[in-house]
Structure formats: C-alpha cells, structure tokens
Structure 1
C-alpha cells in the first residue's frame, strides 16, 4: 500500500484498498515507457557514425 496512512487520508486509503494504488501504477508504467522510448530513440550510434566520417 502507499505511504498514505489510513488515519491521515481515510478516503484515499479506502480507494487504494478497493482500486489499487493507481498513481503508483501510472508512475511505474510511465517510467517503463520512458525507458523503452529512450532505447528506441537512441541516436548515439548515429551521431558517432556521422562524426567518424
């Protein structure tokens, strides 16, 4: 569960129990997509080849 304590945010804690920690899941997926995009759009080898010419 998230760091939200049920005494600090009972509504949020209840939602997390019912629906899961949606913001944490979105954050995880976004970080994964950024890593994949970084690998897919790695132009480092293209720049190195162009500089070697």
Structure 2
C-alpha cells in the first residue's frame, strides 16, 4: 500500500497494519494454486476444445 492510499483510506491502512494485506495474500495464494494445478493437470485438451467452439 502506498502512502497516498493510507492517507485516502486511513481505516483500510489501520486494518492492513492489524490484519495484514488480506487481498494481496489471497491473490498470491490463488496464483500459487493456479501454477500448481497447471503443473499437475494438463489443461491443453480442455483449452483446445473450448477454442474450437
């Protein structure tokens, strides 16, 4: 979070200080899960059939 954000949204800044940046953490975990899933499952066939429609 930038200093401009904390000036514009002091309540949010306080929550981030107390609880951490939950949206950023969720985004990081979701990206990690997608990478893991992509390595574990071959989605190529699904993407090909979806593109053919």
TM-score > 0.5, shorter chain as reference: yes
Q: Which residue of 2 aligns with 1:35?
A: 35
Alignment partners' CA distance in 2, 1:43 and 1:7: 44
Unmatched segments (≥5 aa) in structure 2: 45-53
Alignment partners' CA distance in 1, 2:43 and 2:35: 14
TM, length-normalised to structure 2:
0.70
RMSD: 1.6
Higher relative contact order (CA 8 A, sep 6+): 1
Q: Secondary structure at the match of 1:7?
A: helix
TM, length-normalised to structure 1:
0.70
